[in-house]
Amino acid sequence: MNINIEKIEIVSFGKLKNVCVTAEKGINILSAPNESGKSTLAAFIKFVFYGFAGARMQTLTENERKLYTPWDAEVSEGSITITADGTKYTVHRRCLASGKESAEIINYSTGKAEFTGETAGEVFFGVSEEVFARTLFFRQLTLPQSRDEILADRLKNIAISADEQVSTKKAISKLNECKNELKGRLGNGLIPKAEKERDLLEEQITEALSVRKETERLSGEIKKRALDMADAAEQLEILQKERRNIEKYESLTKLRNINRLTLEERNAREEYEAVSAGLKQRDDGAAMSALFAKNTEYVAICRECEKNAFALEEAKREHEELIASAKIAPDDAKKASKLLKSSKKTSKLLFIIGALLVVFGIVSSLASENTMGLGIIIGVAGLFSAVFGAVIMAKPSGFARELGFATASEMESAIEVLPMLERQISESGRRLASIEDEYNESATRMAILKRELDEGIGRYTDVAEGNYGEKLERILRLSTESGEKLAVWRAKKEELDNALKGVDINALAEDARGAEPPERDRAKVDYEIRFYSEKHYKLSELNRESELNLATLEAKCGDPAVLVGKRDSLNARIAELEMKHKAYETAIKTIEDAADYMKSMVAPRIGERADEYFTAATGGRYSAFEIDTRLSMSFGEDMRRSCDYLSAGTRDSAYLSLRLALADMLFGGCGVPILLDDAFVRMDDNRLRMMLGAVKEAAKKHQIFILTHGNREALAFSDIGADYSEIQIKQV
């Protein structure tokens, strides 16, 4: 039927997601950059009609399901709308990443599913997926090909079976191999081999009857020894149970010992911790000796400090008594001395002046009446001077009273003894300072020793009761006792660790469960176990030797009944192989006859149609394109030449021409879609225009899809005046 694709809708497939492509009849060109999804679109068309190929392959390039299942969707899905002989259908296919696949063909007008359970490609194209892929599905033919030199063989196979990989020559060769495998000309093969085996079986049947009696004798001996072995095994089982109870009881004893050692270790540790409760660390000898020496020095310095304190108090008292014995202060003494001197000197002078004035006044009064008044005045002035002198003379007494003295003389006496007292006070002060320095030095040393003793003792204990000597004695006593307890604890711990080394307590307890005191010691039980084990071993060795002999006899001749059965089976096998041999001969002759018919009838017709396309594709430069009865491509009218001599681009033209011819013939003259994915890259612009002229001719019957990364094809179609439609991958 004539097939035309109208719309391609992709939900998710490879890198394409939610896209739509609308196609027209005739030539459709999709031009897009590389990696834009053109090849994915071509693969999607085949997927909708046939599903994924290579689903069981491991490599990504061979397994299409792995290659085209989107990473983020886990499902490949989409549909294609086609018209088939005027009826519109929608072909929908969905495939999960797990491989579960569903497909349906919906009649567009009725909306009902048709052709349920059938493959869409086989329904509409009438060919298998492999034929479709090798005739209508051209995917990147211009990739570098390492097998261009075998192009003729590939085309030969296409012409006969539409399959480049199927070769009648190989089929006949394979059938000959199978036939020769059954029976060769040299007398080898499966049939002669089976006949020899049958003759050998006849000899073995005869021999088997003669050794049957010997095998029966050996079998009897083996059975008797087997009974003895069973008895020995029974005894061994009893002894093993007894031995196992001994092991369980030993485990119980070991467990009890571990429990005892655990208790002793815990008690020793608790005793050590109790003794060491108030002790931060034990005495290491040297440190404690240093602390004892410091304590001795501390006791001595304490005594010295007490002595110096007493002497300091005495010196202070004496110094204060000397200071108290001074009746006048040095400043007051200086002031009083100055006052005494000045008052004595001034009062004496005033007394002399007063006396002189009185005398002069008396003399003047007596001298004359005129000078009497002056004399009286002078006498009165003298009296006033004497009185003023008496007043000045009385000032020291007043100052003395202010200072607490009864008289000025008493104050003057105090002033006289003051220098001697000051010397005594100075000497007392120096002695007081010396004693104070000695006291401060001893007090400082005592404080240092106290701090060092506190720090040293603090490293051992925080107990505050008692003096330093008592504390040191307590530390020494506790250290000694702690060391003894520690030694006991370590010894117990080491003993416990040795007992626990490599021991799983839970497993040991489980192993000891149900143990009972053994009735016999291990040595006796082990002796009997060795005895019965050796007996069992010797019987086993004898039986093994007898069984080996029996097996040797049986292998040598076999069971007569079995051998007879094998012989009869072999006769049937020989008859079957001979029938297959005749079938292979018939198949070879039939294929050779069919191949001759196909070569003589089909190849010329394919060559004639391919020549039309190839002549148009090469502009008539390479005419008379033929495929001979050997299905080899050649060209030339005067001199025939193989297409292998053509350039790569011309060979692509020849190969594509033959494919177009096959499309015309294999589909009964019906129009079908042809996909060309980057099929013209190795062709130059001139050859491209000529090749597209051939494609233009094919487009009169078939719908053509050209997937390309540039605009060369569109320009070439414009140059040759061909109609085409530009299609796009549109995002929905």
Domain end (from 557, 584, 619): 557
Averaged over 147-151, what is the pLDDT?
A: 36
434/294 same-domain check? yes
- Amino acid identity for residue 547 in this structure: E
Judged by average pLDDT, the poorest of 40-44, 313-317, 361-365 is 361-365
198/239 same-domain check? yes
Residue 717 lies in a domain: yes
State yes or no: pLDDT of 699 exceeds 50: yes
State yes or no: pLDDT of 453 exceeds 50: yes
Tokens of 482: 């702690």
Residue 586 lies in a domain: no
Residue 136 lies in a domain: no
92/19 same-domain check? yes
79/203 same-domain check? no
Domain that holds residue 443: 284-328+418-459
31/111 same-domain check? yes
What does the CA dihedral 621, 681, 709, 20 come to, rounded to 10 degrees? Answer: 70
Residues 290-304 pLDDT 10s? 777 777 887 888 888
What lies within 8 Å, CB to CB, of 336 at 6+ separation is: 328, 396, 399, 400, 403, 411, 412, 415
Residue 351 lies in a domain: yes
Residues 563-613 pLDDT 10s? 778 878 888 888 888 888 788 778 777 766 655 555 555 566 777 777 778
Tokens of 22: 């609308």
Check residue 594 and give its pLDDT: 57
Indicate the number of domains in the chain. Answer: 4
Residue 255 lies in a domain: yes
450/534 same-domain check? no
Q: 722, 27 in Cβ contact below 8 A? A: yes
Of 19, 13, 71, nearest to 39 by C-alpha is 13
Check residue 153 and give its pLDDT: 44
Helices 190-275 and 560-617: crossing angle in degrees, nearest 10, is 100
Averaged over 368-387, what is the pLDDT?
A: 71
19/75 same-domain check? yes
Residue 587 lies in a domain: no
Q: What is the CATH number of the domain that holds 119?
A: 3.40.50.300
357/430 same-domain check? no
- The one-character DSSP state at 7 is E
Residues 624-683 pLDDT 10s? 666 654 546 666 665 566 666 677 777 778 888 888 887 887 776 788 999 998 888 888
Question: Would you say the pTM of this structure is higher than 0.85?
Answer: no
State yes or no: pLDDT of 491 exceeds 50: yes
Q: 379, 365 in Cβ contact below 8 A? A: yes
552/423 same-domain check? no
Residue 473 lies in a domain: no
107/206 same-domain check? no
Residue 247 lies in a domain: yes
Averaged over 413-432, what is the pLDDT?
A: 80
288/427 same-domain check? yes
State yes or no: pLDDT of 162 exceeds 60: no
Mean residue pLDDT across the chain: 80
351/398 same-domain check? yes
What lies within 8 Å, CB to CB, of 663 at 6+ separation is: 135, 136, 672, 674, 698, 702
Residues 51-61 pLDDT 10s? 987 555 555 55
Return the percentage of the chain with pLDDT > 90, whole number. Answer: 23
Identify the burial level of 32 via C-beta atoms within 10 angstroms of its C-beta, where 0-12 means exposed, 13-18 middle and 19 or more buried: middle
Tokens of 380: 């009165």
Return the percentage of the chain with pLDDT > 70, whole number. Answer: 82
Residues 101-128 pLDDT 10s? 899 999 999 999 999 989 999 899 888 8
Judged by average pLDDT, the poorest of 22-26, 143-147, 432-436, 484-488 is 143-147
Helix residue ranges, H only, 85-124:
120-124
